[in-house]
Amino acid sequence: MNVTIIGLGLIGGSIAIELRKAGFASKIVGVDKDPASGETALLIGLVDELASLQDSIERADLIIVAIPVDAARLEIPIILDAIMEHAVVVDMGSTKHGLAKVVSGHEKRSNLVLSHPIAGTENTGPSAAVEGLFLNKVAIICGKEMSSDIALKLVEGLYETLGMRVIYMDSKEHDLHIAYVSHLSHISSFTLGKTVLEIEKNEKNIFDLAGSGFESTVRLAKSSSSMWAPILEQNSEVISVALGTYIDNLKEFKSLIDSKDKEGLTRLMDQANDVRRVLDGIE
Amino acid sequence: MNVTIIGLGLIGGSIAIELRKAGFASKIVGVDKDPASGETALLIGLVDELASLQDSIERADLIIVAIPVDAARLEIPIILDAIMEHAVVVDMGSTKHGLAKVVSGHEKRSNLVLSHPIAGTENTGPSAAVEGLFLNKVAIICGKEMSSDIALKLVEGLYETLGMRVIYMDSKEHDLHIAYVSHLSHISSFTLGKTVLEIEKNEKNIFDLAGSGFESTVRLAKSSSSMWAPILEQNSEVISVALGTYIDNLKEFKSLIDSKDKEGLTRLMDQANDVRRVLDGIE
């Protein structure tokens, strides 16, 4: 199978590593609008060759789109226009509802699978690609009824090759749940990073004291703004409500601290402790 | 050397593991107000024997205090009253200024070293103790001029045995910097956990989508309230100011999201990205 990966960053590059390891593709063609990223991807062996978007999609059996969500919304209709009759396109972005609406009337809509592999790191670019990124994680396929059985089967096979468990959601539902769990975490972390850099003037202290929990909590604040600004824009309504609740809860926390209400603080932290049970997955 | 560890939790237990491995102590005596924790610590070999506070400190050369900060403030003056002339007491708590004031006039103040090893996990109790917890991390010694040279040397040797780099700070300065870097991170994480549990009614979604960054950002929300409520109370003034700035920054983030201001969001996230450079420690 001839596979084209559009966007040779963390996700696209890490997929390339797994597909090559599994012998999933006879050839992996890479497309990236940044020539330097393309060259790096070629140099470190992620892809077999580089091509232009138009040239690559005309001969691809499977086209994996792993680019920022604003670009995906613009490019995917154009990609669908140009693919072969049997080709399958799969999108990897972190927002789905707007894209689903944009492509809903496209005559090749059934060639497209909207999906979201729930995996990542704070790093970007082809050199951030790593083996095992997707192993035992979850991939979401959205609006499966809009995709052909053949397209679905191919994408399910792709995720199986990556070692992922597939779950299914409506696009709107996806954007809601991912706002709660992923997007809010990123905002919390970005803002923690910005705040600590503002109030702690001595950078050496941040470095020395980072082992106290800061390092892990702020990890996501290293994420790329060119990936995240369009996500936050596209999913702004849902994120805004979730962020409002987060701010209200922080105000409550602050008021308990101001009144030195140890009982209230204990109650609140005990509630938060319940994430341990939820993340352990014990029913 | 006869070492007593008061508080057989994550920190006390992990210290015991390292001291035993290094042959630092001829005997490690454990004290814990919770009999079950004491029994566990004895059973898994963290300590050689259990004793009452009074009994153990009368015969200890080094007394390591690793208990919640409210208990430490009450117990340390009593411990100093009872120790042998040459014995050294070292405190491990996450707040320092209040304790420094409480002990400042004690006739055995020079036997005491106030310190804070910047290491931990979200887990608690003797069974959470792990090897290597302190390796290559930083330990802070506060108000070193108040401790005798002999006491300082012994505690510096202790931290060297744990594999830590020692830095020195004034107690008040410690509480300020640790509020910025550690205490604020914990509040951000506790509140993220509480918020997501509130708004995401389907726990299965939290579990499935946790790989999206939630899991690492919320890790600290699993921390023990009995450890954290007294820390937040004792350091409330400094924490409140830092938390206020965090809330203000989140409000700014929310307003940029509400107005779909991609440029503003990009600028803000690019500022946050600077934590990467700071945490890499490149000067």
Please measure the distance between the N-terminal and C-terminal CA atoms of chain A and give it in whole angstroms: 41
Which residue, A170, A187, A222, sits at the end of a domain? Answer: A170
Q: Is A82 exposed, middle or buried (0-12, 13-18, 19+ CB in 10 A)?
A: middle
CA separation for the pair A217, A191 (Å, rounded): 11
CATH number of the domain within which A65 lies: 3.40.50.720
Closest chain A residue by Cα to residue B247? A247
Distance spanning both ends of chain B, measured CA to CA: 41
Q: Where are the beta strands (DSSP E) in B13-172?
A: 27-31, 49-50, 62-65, 88-91, 112-117, 138-142, 165-169
Contact B138 A180 (CB under 8 A): no
Q: What is the pLDDT of residue A282?
A: 53
Of B182, B245, B250, the CB nearest to A199: B245
Q: Which of A19, A18, A148, A175 is nearest to A89 (CA)?
A: A148
Q: What is the mean pLDDT of residues B145-158?
A: 98
Same domain, B71 and B132: yes
Select from A150, A170, A190 the last residue of a domain.
Answer: A170
Report chain B residues whose CB lies below 8 A from the CB of A173. Answer: none
Same domain? For A229 and A132 the reply is no
- Interface A:B, Cβ pairs < 8 A: 313
Asked if residue B211 and residue B108 are part of one domain, the reply reads no
| Contact: B269, A225; criterion CB under 8 Å | yes
Instruction: Verify that A26 and A164 share a domain, yes or no.
Output: yes
Same domain? B157 vs B219: no
* Closest Cα in chain B, distance from residue A247 (Å): 6
Task: Collapse the DSSP code of A274 into the 3-class scheme (helix H, G, I; strand E, B; otherwise coil) and give the result.
Answer: coil
Q: Which residues of A touch B251 (CB under 8 A)?
A: 247
Q: How far, in Å, CA of A269 to CA of B226, rounded?
A: 9
Chain A CA closest to residue B122 = A213
Angstroms from B143 CA to nearest CA on chain A: 17
CB pair distance less than 8 Å for A273 and B222: yes
Mean pLDDT of chain B: 96
DSSP single-letter state for residue A46: S
User: For residue A201, what is the domain's CATH number?
Assistant: 1.10.3660.10
DSSP secondary structure code for residue A109 in this structure:
G
Let me know whether B18 and B155 are in one domain.
yes
B211: which chain A residues are within 8 Å (Cβ-Cβ)?
Answer: 118-120, 137-138
Interchain pair B276, A222: CB under 8 A: yes
Both tokens assigned to A256:
């308990």
B180 DSSP assignment:
I
Amino acid at the residue B231: I
Range of the domain at B189: 174-280
Strand (E) or helix (H) holding A28: strand A27-31
Question: Are B158 and B198 found together in one domain?
Answer: no
Domain count, chain A: 2
Quote the pLDDT of residue A212. 80
Question: What chain B residue is nearest to A230 in terms of C-alpha separation?
Answer: B262
Neighbours of A101 (CB within 10 A): 12
Angle CA B268–B273–B274, to nearest 5: 105
Where residue B283 falls among pLDDT bands split at 50, 70, 90?
very low
B244 chain-A contacts, CB cut-off 8 A: 254
- pLDDT exceeds 80 at position B133: yes
B242 touches A188 (CB < 8 A): no
Nearest chain A residue to B255 by CA distance is A240
Question: Min CA distance, B84 vs chain A (Å)?
Answer: 33
Last residue of a domain, one of B170, B189, B204: B170
Give tens-digit pLDDT for B215-242.
999 999 999 999 999 999 999 999 999 9
Both A111 and A226 in a single domain? Answer: no
Shared domain for A135 and A149, answered yes or no, is yes
Specify the DSSP element, H or E, that contains B245. helix B236-258
Residues B32 and B132 in one domain: yes
Nearest chain A residue to B166, by CA: A208
**Structure token digits, residue A83:** 């693919």
| Chain A residues inside the 8 Å CB shell of B11 | none
Of A190, A198, A239, nearest to A219 by C-alpha is A190
Burial of A23 (0-12, 13-18, 19+ CB in 10 A): exposed
CB atoms within 10 A of CB B272: 27
Please indicate, yes or no, whether residues A163 and A180 belong to a single structural domain of this protein. Answer: no
Residues of chain A in contact with residue B221, where contact means CB-CB under 8 angstroms, are: 269, 272-273, 275
Q: Which residue of A has its CA nearest to B236?
A: A257
Interface test with A, best of B14, B135, B182, B195 (most A CBs within 10 A): B195
Query: What's the ipTM?
Result: 0.94
| Pairwise CA distance, residues A111 & A104, whole Å | 12
Residue B240 is predicted with a pLDDT of 98
- A199 lies in the same domain as A273: yes
What φ, ψ does residue A139 adopt, rounded to 5°? Answer: -115, 135
Share of chain B above pLDDT 90, in %: 97
**pLDDT, tens only, B13-51:** 999 999 999 999 999 999 999 999 999 999 999 999 999
Q: Given an 8 Å threshold on Cβ–Cβ distance, is A258 in contact with B270?
A: no
Low-confidence ranges of chain A (pLDDT < 70): 282-283
Q: What is the pLDDT of residue A281?
A: 80
Closest CB to B215: pick one of A190, A205, A279.
Answer: A279
- Mean pLDDT computed over B117-126: 94
